Amino acid sequence: ALNYQGETVLISCPWKLVLRLYNTATRKVEEFKPINPDKVGMYVCGLTVYNDMHLGHARTYISFDVIRRWLEYSGYEVTFVQNHTDIDDKIIQKANEEDSTTEEIASRYIERTTEDLEKLQVRPPTFMPKATDFIKEMIEIVSDLVEKKHAYVVEPAAGALSSDVYFDISSASDMFGTLTGQNIEDMEAGARVAVDSRKRHPSDFVLWKGAKPNEPSWESPWGSGRPGWHIECSAMSLGHLGKHFDIHGGGVDLKFPHHESEILQTECHTNHSPVANYWIHTGFLTIDKEKMSKSLDNFFLVRDVMKEYSAPILRFYLLNGSYRSPIDFSNSSLKESMAAYKRLEGTYRRFRDEETNGVQKPPELVEAIEQCRKDFVSAMNDDFNTREAIASLFQLARIANNHPESSLASDLRSELVKTFDYYGNQVLGLFTEHIIDDSLLASIKDLITKRDAARIAKDWSQSDSIRDELSEMGIEVQDTPEGTKWRRI
C-alpha cells in the first residue's frame, strides 16, 4: 500500500518474493525474518557533527532511506533510529579553532546536514537522538560493565583531571569478531583506538574519558569526564529499541572498531546476544580508488556538489549501484547519471502531465507495466538491488516512449504513471517535486514570455541568452508543438 495523491492505493503482487539481505554478521545472504511479524526496529549510526556532510555520508543515508522505504512498502511498521554524535574530539577541536562552544558547533551542523538530507529526500528518522541526551544512561552502562569486570578504571591521562575507563576486551574474547570474523590477535588498533600504555590489551577501548581543562564534562563515579565514541550508540539504541532489534547499519568503515565495540559492550551489559539480528553496511565512496574521507581531505561536500547538480540527480547517481559495492566518484560519471536521469524523469513527467486522452491500449505496454512491477519487486527483495530496480524503470520507459502520450487511454496512462510514481518516486525517492515560490514562478514565466517573443522575432541571440539565464536558475525549457514547456532540473 502506498499513498498516491492523497489516496491509499494497493498494488496486487501475486509474484512478490521473500526479502533476502546480506548480513555482515554471517557473511551471507539470508531471508529477512523480523522479531515481530509486523514491525521492524532499525538503528543507523549517524553523523559526527563538526562539518558539512560529504558524498560518502550521503550515500549511506540515502541507501538506508531506501531500505526503510522498502520495508514500509512491504507492510512493516518501521522504527528507524539515527543518532547525532554531538560530543567528540573533533567537535571540541573545531570549537576551540572558532572560539565557540561544542553546543554551537553541533547545533550549526545538525541544522545544515538536516537541510542537505531533506533536499536529498531522505525522510526524517522516527527518532534522531543526540549523544549528550543520553549521558546518564551511558554512565549507568559503564558502571555496570565495571561491576561485571568487563571494564576497568585507570589513572588520568596526561593533562586530564579525572580517570579514564576502558573496556577489557579479553573479558569477552569469545564474543569478539562478530563482524570481522577475526580473532583479537589478528586485529590492529583502528582509526579511533589510541595506543595507550595504561591498557591491559592494545585493543581495549575507552568507555569514559576523564575531563581535561576547558572541555565539556559531566560528573560520574570516576570524576568529571565525557563518554567515549562507541558507548554513545549502545546507550541510544538500547534507549529507543531495547536490547534486541532487527537491523543495525552504517558505513563499512564502522565495522571495526565501532560496531565490534558496540556489540561487546552492549551484549556484556544486557547479557543478551545478539543485539541485532542483521548487520548492514554500505560500501565506500572512493576517489581514484581511495576512500572518501574528511581525515584524508579528499572529500566532496554534498552542498557543493548540489550547486552544479540537482538533488534528485545526485540521489539517482548514488542509488544506481549496489549499496554494498564501492563507487569510484568522478565528474564524468555524475554527468552520465544526469543524462540518464533526465531521460527517465522526462518520460515520467511527459505522461503524467498529458491532459488529452486517447483510446489505445497497446498490449506490449500493458505487459511492460506488469513486468516492470514484477522486476522491481524482485530486485528490491534481492538485497535491495536498486541498480536492477532502476533498470526495470528504464525498460518500461523505453517501451512507453514508443507510444505518443496523447494516444493512450486514460486508465492505461494512469497505470503507467502510477508505476513510475510508486516505485521511482515513493520507493526510490526520485522524481520529487521542487517547491517554487510565487516570486520565482513569476520570474520564470516572465522570462519564458520574453523568450517566446524573441523567437517569434527570430532574435536567436536573445532567445539563447534567456535560455541560459533560465538554466542558471535550474530551469530547463523545451520547445514543443504545443508551445514552450519547462521543468526544474
The secondary element (H helix, E strand) that includes residue 40 is strand 39-48
Q: Nine-digit cell at 351? A: 505522461
Sheet holding 276-282, edge to edge: 77-85, 39-48, 245-251, 276-282
**Nearest CA-CA partner of 381 in 14, 26, 32, 76:** 32
Residue 20, C-beta contacts closer than 8 angstroms, at least 6 positions apart: 29, 30, 31, 32, 381, 382, 383
Q: If you average pLDDT over every residue of the chain, what do you get?
A: 90
Least confident window among 179-193, 264-278, 380-394:
179-193
What are the CA-CA distances from residue 237 to residues 81, 183, 232, 247 (Å)?
8, 26, 9, 11
Res 291: pLDDT: 66
Whether 9 shows a pLDDT value over 50: the answer reads no
By C-alpha distance, which of 150, 187, 186 is closest to 169? 150
- Please list the residues that pair with 247 across neighbouring strands: 42, 278
- The arithmetic mean of pLDDT across residues 315-327, rounded, is 95
Across 280-289, 306-315, 403-412, least confident range: 280-289
CA gap 12, 271 in Å, rounded? 43
Burial 279-299 (b: 16+ CB within 10 A, else e): bbbbbbbbbeeebbbbeeeeb
From CA 75, how far away is CA 381, in angstroms rounded? 13
**What is the arithmetic mean of pLDDT over 86-99?**
96
SS3 227: strand
Residue with cell 542537505: 116
Q: Which amino acid is at 382?
A: D
Maximum C-alpha span of the chain: 86
What pTM value is reported for the model?
A: 0.86
> Coil, strand or helix: which one is 183?
coil
CA pair distance 356, 406, nearest whole angstrom: 6
Measured CA to CA, the distance from residue 245 to residue 227 in angstroms comes to 23
Q: What is the pLDDT of residues 43-67, one digit of tens each?
A: 999 999 999 999 999 999 999 999 9
DSSP code, position 361: -
What does the block give as the cell for 210? 576523564
d(CA 216, CA 104): 12
Mean pLDDT of 15-26: 86
Closest by CA position to 117, among listed 46, 175, 23: 46
Contacts of 197 (CB under 8 A, 6+ apart): none
Q: How many CB atoms lie within 10 A of CB 367?
A: 11
Tens of pLDDT, residue by residue over 334-347, are: 999 999 999 999 99
